[in-house]
Amino acid sequence: MRLWSIHPKYLDARGLVALWREGLLAKKVLEGYARGYINHPQLIRFRMHEKPAALINAYLYQVYLEAKSRNYRFNLSKIEPIILIGEIAVTRGQLGFEFMHLLRKLEKRDRKKFEYLKELSANDIEANPIFRVVDGGIEFWEKGKI
C-alpha cells in the first residue's frame, strides 16, 4: 500500500487507479471496518490526525478530482467529498523520495510519462493538497528508505 504524498496528477493511469483502490482500503481500516493493514506505516500520519476518517476522505477526494479531470469514472459515493487544504505537514524530503520512487516505476511501465516527469526538479513537486509542505528529510514512517 502506498498513499502518495505527491499530487495525484503525477501518477500514470495504473498508479491513479491503484491509489484509489488502496485509499479505499485505507479508509475502511481507519474507520474500523477492515482488519488487514491495521498497522501499516502509510496509515500513521492519518491516525495522528484528530479526525483520521475526515482526513482520508479529503485525501481520496483529491484523488477523485484528478480522476475526474482525466474523464475516469471513480465512484464518488464511496467517499465523503471533504476539502481540507494544508491540513497536515509533509516534508520536502518525503516528496522527493516519493517522486524518485514514482520515476523508477514509470521508467518501466509508462515511458512517455517518465520522459515528461524526469525533467521536473524535486523541489518543484507539488503535494496532494491536504498536505502542507515543510522542510525536512524522509518522514519517520517511511519504510522504503534508501
Q: Is 6 helix (H, G, I), strand (E, B) or coil?
A: strand
Residue-level pLDDT, tens digit, the chain, 146 residues? 799 999 999 999 999 999 999 999 999 999 999 877 888 889 999 999 999 999 999 999 999 999 999 999 999 999 999 999 999 999 999 999 999 999 999 999 999 999 999 999 878 899 999 999 999 999 999 986 65
d(CA 129, CA 6): 9
Output the pTM of the full model. Answer: 0.94
Buried b (16+ CB within 10 A) or exposed e, 5-37: bbbbebbbeebbeebbebbbbbbbbbeeeeeeb
Domain boundaries, the chain: 8-134
DSSP class of 49: S
Rounded CA Rg of the chain: 15
Asked whether 135 and 42 are in contact (CB, 8 A), the reply is: no
